[in-house]
A = this chain, B = another copy of it.
Amino acid sequence: MTFDEIYDLVREDMKKVEEGLYRNFQSDVPLIPTITSYLNDAGGKRLRPMFLVLSSKISGYSDGNRHILNSCIVELIHAATLLHDDVVDEAFIRRGNPSANRKWGNEASVLVGDFLFSKSFLLLASEDDSKINKSVSAASKEVAEGEVLGLATKGNFDISEDEYMDIIYKKTASLISVSCRIGAIIGNASQEKEKALADFGLKAGIAFQLVDDILDYTGNPEKFGKTIGLDFQKKKMTLPLINLFQKAPAKEKKKIQELVRSNDNLSCRLKTLVGMMKHYDSINYALDKARNYVTEAKKEIVAFDESPSLTAILSLADYVVSRDI
């Protein structure tokens, strides 16, 4: 199934998620809806809600709106982290448009991010499910830890592949994993199936971030919706760079460090670095790793009954590595 075909299957649910998000983006405080509606208009694929909704469906959830409410919970946390990320990265482009911090300043992005976090926890309190509450709070803590870890390892060529994997597990995969877990919880899936879906989400989430990090070097800016080379510019140690540095002989290691640390023309430096990554097969190395994670992710949910929703969630896992590559 293509992404559009997957989306068609959950179109009605996603429409309700959009309505729910819109409601939660409101506030009597004027600056808040200005920024949140700007964020909302810029769109986003709503991957976490799609994972959650499809997980709930393959777990047998059919009545009620808990899948909508919980989708809003995870997407609000995601939206909050995007606002804070852009402040941390001094990003100027998000989803093809000027980022919120560029338009309204870092202060507004920090505080509106806090508002979205709080709204998410307010919804979580209204949902009032102890298990979901604990899972989401734990994931939210991991996201923050992953972000700090990413910040602390900027420009550090001593970082190992394992440390990098730990960062992306925390900052990205944990929230996708909890989205899938919630689907299982509201669908009253067995403990085994809940764990299977959480592991599926974790592995698909790792693959997603691996690909995101590859696209920062090789992506088409218009399709990717972010500034290309931003990780490189911010000296973020992602797998293509870590792998290149490991493989390169001593003399080239020095050149790589210079390319990353220099203030010369960014696109020239980026082009040279991507050339080296291709030469040392580091892009393919990262891509193979992402593909393996998707393969392993899909194995986790073999025990679920066949259904259009199962086909769709498996295809969604494929999509995270096939997009724009």
> In the complex, which residues of chain B have a beta carbon less than 8 angstroms from the beta carbon of A107?
87-88, 151
Interface 1/0 per residue, A111-129 and B, CB below 8 Å = 1111101110110111010
Q: Contact at B87–A144, with CB atoms within 8 Å?
A: no
Q: How many residues of A contact B (CB 8 A)?
A: 44
> In the complex, which residues of chain B have a beta carbon less than 8 angstroms from the beta carbon of A84?
110-111, 114
* Contact (A148, B88) CB under 8 Å given A110-B110, A122-B141, A125-B133: no
> In the complex, which residues of chain B have a beta carbon less than 8 angstroms from the beta carbon of A144?
111-112, 114-115, 117-118
Is A32 an interface position by the 8 A CB rule? yes
- Give the docked Cα–Cα distance between A112 and B134 (Å): 20
Of listed A81, A111, A141, residue having the most chain B CB within 10 A? A111
Which listed residue, B114, B149, B151, touches A147 by the CB 8 Å rule?
B114
Is A242 an interface position by the 8 A CB rule? no
Copies of this protein in the assembly total 2
Nearest Cβ on chain B to A9's Cβ, whole angstroms: 32
Q: Contact at A141–B128, with CB atoms within 8 Å?
A: no
Q: Contact at A121–B137, with CB atoms within 8 Å?
A: yes
Q: Contact at B112–A148, with CB atoms within 8 Å?
A: yes
* Contact (A130, B141) CB under 8 Å given A88-B110, A88-B111, A115-B148: no
Q: Contact at B108–A148, with CB atoms within 8 Å?
A: yes
Is A31 an interface position by the 8 A CB rule? yes
Nearest Cβ on chain B to A124's Cβ, whole angstroms: 7
- Give the docked Cα–Cα distance between A117 and B29 (Å): 21
- Give the docked Cα–Cα distance between A113 and B140 (Å): 12
Q: Contact at A130–B125, with CB atoms within 8 Å?
A: yes
CB nearest neighbor in B for A88? B107
> In the complex, which residues of chain B have a beta carbon less than 8 angstroms from the beta carbon of A106?
87-88, 106
CB nearest neighbor in B for A81? B114
Is A1 an interface position by the 8 A CB rule? no
* Contact (A30, B110) CB under 8 Å given A121-B121, A122-B141, A130-B125: no
> In the complex, which residues of chain B have a beta carbon less than 8 angstroms from the beta carbon of A133?
124-125, 128, 133
Question: Which residues of A pack against B, CB within 8 Å?
Answer: 27-32, 81, 84, 87-88, 106-108, 110-115, 117-119, 121-122, 124-126, 128, 130, 133-134, 136-138, 140-141, 143-145, 147-149, 151-152
Q: List 8 A-B contacts (CB under 8 A).
A: A29-B152, A84-B111, A84-B114, A87-B107, A107-B151, A108-B148, A124-B133, A128-B133
Q: Which 6 A-B pairs have the closest CB atoms?
A: A115-B144, A118-B141, A122-B137, A88-B107, A125-B133, A118-B140
